Copies of this chain bind each other. A is one copy, B any other.
């Protein structure tokens, strides 16, 4: 049984895909979300899907951002991006990010199901149109430029999550150290690692991203 979660800001699409996928006994739609932040909150507490179907064009947090963070925080989840159009820019950006598939919404239903089963088994899968772009890109750019810095420091540890919550709760480094009986130095180290992992510059960024990614309450 392959568990799937859908994220797309068009409710109609969500319902359509769900009823479609439910026709296949191997597939099970765990949850649907119209908003990246809601999805991240679910990911902190709820059951993780095997495959995430993710719309690229979304209001609020973009699909690209969602993808990048999901892959970092929950690497066991296979992400398939869905898009109405195909943009070389995104394809480039996303493939290096570690997504498992990239389909056009115009893809027919059997191919979608096939793709889901493929990526659940660790393969990569995408629409033929996109495959074209990939092959073309591969030829021309050779081994490609890495563009902007691709940092992925893996998911947060238990301790780091705890820190993040305490920081958001207005505890200072010293107070955290006293509260959980560790040295101030250690807390500062955790703070540093958090900032690096979440790719932010200061406490404000830590709390903001913590919220967006549903890591704090």
**Chain A facing B: main interface SS:** helix
Q: Type the 1/0 row for A185-217, where 1 means its CB is closer than 8 Å to any CB of B.
A: 000000000000000111111111001000010
Is A168 an interface residue, CB under 8 A from the partner? yes
List the B side residues contacting A205 at CB < 8 Å. 170
Is A167 an interface residue, CB under 8 A from the partner? yes
Is A172 an interface residue, CB under 8 A from the partner? yes
Minimal beta-carbon separation of A211 from chain B (angstroms): 5
A216 to B207, CA, bound (A): 12
> Knowing that A169-B204, A207-B207, A211-B211 are A-B contacts, what are 9 other residue pairs whose CB atoms are under 8 Å apart, sorted by A's residue number?
A168-B207, A170-B200, A170-B202, A170-B208, A172-B202, A203-B203, A204-B204, A207-B208, A208-B216
List the B side residues contacting A201 at CB < 8 Å. 170
The residues of A with any CB-CB pair to B shorter than 8 Å are 167-170, 172, 200-208, 211, 216
List the B side residues contacting A203 at CB < 8 Å. 202-204, 207
* 16 pairs, CB–CB < 8 Å, chain A vs chain B: A167-B204, A168-B207, A168-B208, A169-B204, A169-B208, A170-B201, A170-B204, A170-B205, A170-B208, A172-B202, A202-B203, A203-B204, A203-B207, A207-B208, A207-B211, A208-B216
A201 to B168, CA, bound (A): 11
Q: Which residue of B has the minimal Cβ distance to A205? A: B170
